[in-house]
Amino acid sequence: MRAARLHGPRDVRVHDEDRPAAGPGEALVRVEAVGLCGSDLHWYEEGGIGSNRITRPIVPGHEMAGRTEDGRLVAVEPAIPCGQCPLCLEGHPNLCPTIRFSGQGDLDGSMREWMAWPSHGLFPLPEGLTATDGAMLEPLGVAIHTVDLAHVRPGSSVGVFGSGPIGLFCLQVAKAAGAARLVATDLASRPHRLEAAGALGAGAFPAEEGREAKAIREAVGGYGLDVAIEAAGVQAAVDAAVESVRPGGRVVLAGIPCEERTSVRVSSARRKGLTIVFVRRMKHTYPRAIALATAGRVDLRSMVSHRFTLAEAARAFEVAALREGVKVVVCP
């Protein structure tokens, strides 16, 4: 089979390798679609995320779907928690201290033709959903978990700061959760993302190093947003989120920053009595993501702007790193 491996920053190579064999409790999956995530781009551009670095040529990819040997089209949960530690038993497998994750550490990901994976992490897709749709269920799941943490209620005003795939899915999930007013930001140099947010019903504001907060507060009226979701991974978006939300509001940090530290303006956050929450991947979201997709409550297909073959994996990463589209998908 063929597999794409990331050898170091901006160094993606396609290799011929042996097909894996399924072990006890595993199924062999022929991979049909892999989405490139913002976290993949950290590994591609920087060689890692924070203290986690590339230590060997690794197969990336954790937004994935494919077909089992018996013909079932399945979405694949990328995380393998231990299932036995107190955090797993308390219902927080995403916080498991020994969790293994597709495309990181010692666990090769999905940018290859075949992968062996625990059967309990495979979710059959109903009629009408494609493999590419199945790959989009992972970023949708992150958005579901993010909106859960945001405590969005019917009638809420919600702002999303960063209109990449996660941010755009957050807009859709917040709307499905009952948000009455949506706003979104992104860089003026990425008008396609602002247009995508507008098409989902959000008032779109170009990001201006946090200065857009005043215009957002004025647009929503009152004291500001009920909820601010930061999905850009940059300090300016964090600042804008904190300044845009009302006293007593909630700020959810979903973006992955390049730096090891994120800060907030204490004079605003403390005086407003804000609740600030961090997002760690997702948990127990695949059934809900499938239900939202099959009910037509979210649009999976508008997220995909580029498709590449496995032989074009290096080019796929180059295009994704330019942020000229929305979601790049590789189809092994």
Give residues with Cβ within 8 angstroms of 318, minimum separation 6. none
Residue 54's contacts (CB-CB under 8 Å, 6 or more residues apart) are: 6, 7, 8, 43, 47, 48
Q: Specify the CATH number of the domain 2-129+300-331.
A: 3.90.180.10
Common-topology check for domains 2-129+300-331 and 142-278: no
Tell me if 58 sits within 8 A of 102, measured CB to CB: no
User: Is residue 327 over pLDDT 90?
Assistant: yes
83 close to 93: Cβ distance less than 8 angstroms: yes
Residue 251 pLDDT exceeds 90: yes
Residue 292's nearest CA partner among 173, 199, 175 is 173
pLDDT score, position 49 = 86
In the predicted model, is pLDDT for residue 87 greater than 90? yes
Q: Where do the structural domains in the chain lie, given as residue ranges?
A: 2-129+300-331, 142-278
CATH number of the domain located at residue range(s) 142-278 in this protein: 3.40.50.720
- Tens-place pLDDT, residues 291-324: 999 999 999 999 999 999 999 999 999 999 999 8
Q: Which of 141, 126, 125, 130 is nearest to 298 (CA)?
A: 141
Q: In this structure, are strands 181-186 and 157-161 parallel, antiparallel, or unpaired?
A: parallel
Is the model's pLDDT at 50 over the cut of 90? Answer: no
User: How far is it, in rounded angstroms, from Cα 252 to Cα 230?
Assistant: 6
Would you state the pLDDT for residue 143?
98
Q: What are the tokens at 274?
A: 């804000």
Is the per-residue pLDDT at 67 higher than 90?
A: yes
Please give the pLDDT value at position 218. 95
The confidence score (pLDDT) of residue 51 equals: 81
Mean pLDDT of the chain: 96
Cα-Cα-Cα-Cα dihedral sign, residues 75, 78, 79, 83 = positive
Q: What is the pLDDT of residue 52?
A: 85
